[in-house]
Chain A
Amino acid sequence: MKILKQMHNIKLIISSFMMLALVMSCTNTDDDDIIIIDNEPDFSGTYAQEDQMGRPAVNTVFVSSSSKDMFNVTIPSEQNAAFQTMFQTNLEGLSPAYANPGDENALGLDSAAFTGLLATDVLNVSLDGTTTFYDGTNVLTGRALADDVITVELLLIFGGEDFSENPGLSNDNVDANDKPFLTSFPYLASPW
């Protein structure tokens, strides 16, 4: 009986220690420990690409309907070889002036050069200062929430060498968001 009681005491001590360990890990604020207690989420498996995006509206405007899914699963380093010709054809279809020899947009890019830039659908971002799609001075140094990217793209497609051509097509006259952005994280406005 005495031995049994001692055994029981040992069990109690061991289970007390286990309880203590559990309580300690529960109150430990380290994220990894919390994940273990919560049953670690399953992050296994392979994830295959469905959609991708660098600059705004590129797939929608420059890729032909039958190729839109393919564009989304072509890695950026291979997009120029696969799509630049299609981009140029579609640009000249949208804005026929580009088909004229020597015709350029306000960035000084002709049809081949402009579509050569756009076909690799990545967003260029400066680590050194102003980040904007276009602010009148800086070009393609990022994309800020308030940037009027559609008007910039319309100007580059339809606006000619000095943004003066096709005024009815080169500005959608929606210049700002419908809610003010926040000045601090998370920057985007609360939902409607």
Chain B
Amino acid sequence: MKNNKTIFGIALLAIVGSVMIAADHIDAPAVQGGTSDITDFYAFQGTNADNMVFVANVQGLLSPSTTAEAMFDENVLVEFNIDNTGDNVEDLVIQAIARDGKMYFFGPTVPSATGLNSTIETNATVSEVDITSYGDSEFVTTNEGMRFFAGPRDDPFFMDFAQYSAIIGGTATSFNNPGSDTFAGTNVMSIVVEVPKAMIGTSGTINTWVESKTKQ
């Protein structure tokens, strides 16, 4: 624990000094430390090779003692974007938003509008899962071949953030070996969706990204 505190101190100093890096944790002034701050995005083939898994993590650097109180913000829409025509414009979206202890999912569906502003696609396939509470075993639901999870998880990101900051800040000239994982022992709020590949494309490469959008 003492070691963790030291690391957090270093991380905080790095944040204050604006010499930070992470996957996307605390990436920009408007979102850092808030409920819409995306920390990471993953897309990978499921254990069942016919499925694709999408993971969006928000609210990084949660210590175990603060994780129980962490909640998804009902004013923040998390949107997985899928371009399957190669123009980097979303052809399909999967939307996730929390309401009263549940995470609701809409899609995959063609969005009524692309770009920076979204409405919730309530005419699309609707799925839901109880948000797993800290300390409970995970709730998972299935609908139309898809699987859903929402709740706190160990932050899957790993990096010697503190030493990178020292290098960028000019107080070190190289990484240490072994390095020290700055994200060890920290949690994030995770949204995980597994969908049949047939719902998002046929073959070849898709372009994907995740967005957080707040209610106006």
Q: Which residues of A contact B (CB under 8 A)?
A: 31-32, 35, 41-54, 56-61, 65, 68-69, 71-73, 75-77, 120-132, 141-145, 148-150, 168-169, 171-179, 181, 183-192
Contact = CB atoms under 8 A, between A and B. Distances in A.
A188 B190 contact: yes
A37 B165 CA distance: 53
Q: Which of B55, B120, B158, B185 has the most CB of A within 10 A?
A: B158
Q: Which of B38, B45, B134 has the most CB of A within 10 A?
A: B45
Given A59-B28, A172-B175, A45 B140 contact: no
Contacts of A174: 158-160, 178-181
Interface in B163-216: 163-164, 167, 173-181, 183-187, 190, 192, 194, 197, 200-216
Contact of A72 (B18, B28, B55, B143): B28
Nearest to A78: B88
Instruction: Decide if the interface of chain A is mainly helix, strand, loop or mixed.
Output: loop
Interface residues of B, number: 102
B51 to A, nearest CB: 9
Contacts, number: 276
Contact of B83 (A52, A122, A150, A178): A122
Contacts of A35: 126
Interface of B: 18, 20-24, 27-31, 36-38, 40-47, 49, 52-53, 55, 62, 64, 67, 76-77, 83, 87-89, 97, 99-100, 104, 114-120, 122, 126-128, 134, 138, 140, 143, 147, 149, 152-154, 156-160, 163-164, 167, 173-181, 183-187, 190, 192, 194, 197, 200-216
A36 to B, nearest CB: 12
Contacts of A125: 43-44, 52, 205-208
Nearest to A188: B153
A175 B31 CA distance: 28
A191 to B, nearest CB: 4
Contact of B159 (A128, A150, A168): A150
Contacts of B122: 43
A53 B197 CA distance: 21
Going nearest first, the 3 A-B pairs with the smallest beta carbon separation are: A168-B174, A68-B28, A47-B213
Contact of B118 (A47, A126, A177): A47
